[in-house]
Amino acid sequence: MSSYDVDAVIVGSGPNGLVAAVTLAEAGWRVVVYEAQDTPGGGLRTEETTLPGFLHDICASNHPMAMASPAFRELGLEREGLAFAQNDVPLAHPIRPGESAILRRSAAETAAGFGADEKLWRTVMGTFGSRWRQLGRAIGNPLRPTPDLIALGAASVWPTPWILSLLRDERSRAVLSGLAAHAIIDLRQPASALVGVALGAFAHGVGWPVAVGGTRSIADALIARLGSLGGEIITGTRVSRIEELPRARAVLLDTSPKDALRIAGHRFASPYANALHKVRYGSAAYKVDWALEGAVPWQDPSLEEAGYLHLGGTAEQVIAAERDVAQGRMPDEPFLLLSQASLLDPSRSPQGKTAFGGYAHVPFGFDGDITDAIEARIEKFAPGFRERILARHVMDPRAMEAHNANLIGGAIDGGMPDFRQLIARPRLSLNPAETSDPGIFLCSASTVPGPGVTGMPGRLAAQLALKRLG
Ligand SMILES: Cc1cc2nc3c(=O)[nH]c(=O)nc-3n(C[C@H](O)[C@H](O)[C@H](O)COP(=O)(O)OP(=O)(O)OC[C@H]3O[C@@H](n4cnc5c(N)ncnc54)[C@H](O)[C@@H]3O)c2cc1C
């Protein structure tokens, strides 16, 4: 007779917690997941935040990382009905009113719009794009270097401005800087372009799709798979101490380092606890959703077909805005990341209307109100935007953290993804999910390979638990 109530307890039901739970349940383990909020999913939640019938993704909206991730491909969630939608224009980057750079699925067509940089973009990004599968595998488990990872590192380990100095066309420069800005770090740091080159490659390789029905469909599919394997999810329960949990062979924490310490700090040896204490969190997100009459009235019609937009201006403006945010200053014109999910998935809004939304990069813990500045920036590129607003819903960094305890100070990264914290996440180890306690594993974006809906931290942690304790 087993002395355990279950085989594994997972704390937190974000993509990583759910992927970990499914991985363990598929191996025959009895699994229970505890979730602080009333609805599971973490960064995968979609809600009618503005008006009934308008579906808004609260956190993750576009899924190049999920598409390229070995974890999601191996799980085959299309069997649970998960479907993605996209078109041929993953991304647009308005530079100034009426002038934009467009990133298309095809690297060659994209490059054709980049003037003097045509050959460089086609060769480098086209090659990385064609190897998205190998790249997804390499990034998913970066501590086992492959030739693709080494090539990606060689191309992007430099500070972003150094890489931009190789490009001559302002459109390619703007697109690359906007992609790199997804890391939300000072782009003058080494390796700051890594995220940008990878996201650009995935845009060419797999696109930047949205999940049909909202990002919550990814959570729904994982939950359905878990249920079919006998796994259980208990919502509305914020775990404070490991002793509150059922007795289990393994506890996997899909939490922030801060909550990992709260829950199990007394079980950790001091070097590991210190590593968690020392995690530096990055900049934050200030999120706005809008219900619109009609579509966004973009001045440049080429923006109408883009699934995602970076409103950042020139590369120099993007770099300056990210520098300010990293240094704790709010730039006059925030860098905006906007998803036109309704365009790709019309089920998200009533006919003739648009569910629109996105976020600005703001300093960690920022407590100001920049809704007006955000709308003013959009209005510049889309005159008449404000007149189309039927309703808006705003979440500042404090509201983001209340929505999801992992978003410390509104930071979306689980630990700033700078060079050091990408490799030592949360400390240097060939098995970064392991803690100093053999029965406790970290499985959130705070471990390797880091933020994004990849499911890989969860997959790797679960595989390690199976190997060690199975
Ligand atoms: C505004 C925003 C936009 C984003 N856009 C994208 C995007 O377009 N594409 C993309 O790939 N990624 C995006 N991301 C990043 C992505 O959402 C995260 O990297 C991902 O969700 C991390 O997954 P996770 O499982 O580690 O944690 P999370 O998704 O953060 O989930 C953690 C869960 O654990 C629960 N929890 C925490 N502590 C406890 C506790 N003590 N007890 C019980 N439950 C607990 C939380 O309530 C939460 O449900 C975005 C994030 C934000 C905030």
* Closest-CA residue to 125 (of 30, 22, 43, 196): 196
Buried residues in 60-84 as b, exposed as e (16+ CB within 10 A): bbbbbbbbbbbbbbebebeebebeb
pLDDT digits (tens, 9 = 90+) for 333-373: 999 999 999 999 999 999 999 999 999 999 999 999 999 99
Distance 45 CA to ligand 1 centre (A): 9
Q: Which residues contact residue 157 at a Cβ distance below 8 angstroms, ignoring those fewer than 6 apart? A: 190, 191, 194, 419
User: How many angstroms separate the alpha carbon of residue 464 from the centre of ligand 1?
Assistant: 21
Counting from 1 in the atom list of ligand 1, the atom nearest the Cα of 37 is: 47
**Residue 422: enclosing H or E segment and its boundaries?**
helix 419-423
How many DSSP H helices and E strands does the chain contain?
19, 16
Burial, 344: exposed, middle or buried (Cβ in 10 Å; 0-12, 13-18, 19+)?
buried
Handedness of CA 247, 75, 13, 52 (dihedral sign): negative
Q: Is the peptide bond before 426 cis (omega within 30 degrees of 0)?
A: yes
Lowest mean pLDDT among 85-94, 151-160, 253-262, 459-468: 151-160
Binning the chain into helix, strand and coil, the percentages to the nearest 5 are: 45, 15, 40
Q: What is the pLDDT of residues 49-60, one digit of tens each?
A: 999 999 999 999
Ligand 1 center–CA 298 separation, angstroms: 31
- Is 215 close to ligand 1, i.e. is its CB under 6 Å away? no
Say if residues 433 and 442 touch (Cβ distance below 8 Å): yes
Mutate to test the pocket of ligand 1, among 406, 407, 416 (most ligand atoms within 8 A of CB): 406
Please determine, for residue 1, whether its predicted confidence score (pLDDT) is greater than 80.
Answer: no
CA-CA distances (angstroms) from residue 91 to 247, 262, 304?
A: 47, 40, 11
The CATH number of the domain covering residues in 6-45+64-83+212-279+415-469: 3.50.50.60
| Distances in whole angstroms, Cα of residue 246 to Cα of each of 19, 88, 105 | 20, 48, 48
- The sign of the CA dihedral 268, 254, 138, 417 is negative
User: How far apart (Å, rounded) are the C-alpha atoms in residues 150 and 274?
Assistant: 31
- The angle at the Cα of 460, spanning 459 to 465, to the nearest 5 degrees, equals 100
Taking only the tens place, the pLDDT of each residue in 235-274 is: 999 999 999 999 999 999 999 999 999 999 999 999 999 9
pLDDT digits 0-9 by tens, 127-151: 999 999 999 999 988 888 899 899 9
pLDDT of residue 156: 87
Which ligand 1 atom is at minimum distance from the Cα of 16?
Answer: 25
Question: Six-digit token pair at 209?
Answer: 């799709």
What pLDDT sits at residue 145? Answer: 85
Look at residue 143 in the predicted model and tell me its pLDDT.
84
Per-position DSSP letters for 386-413, written without gaps between them: GGGEEEEEEE-HHHHHHH-TTSGGGBSS
Q: What is the pLDDT of residue 170?
A: 98
Show the tokens assigned to 428. 């240097």
In whole angstroms, give the CA distance from residue 135 to residue 152.
8
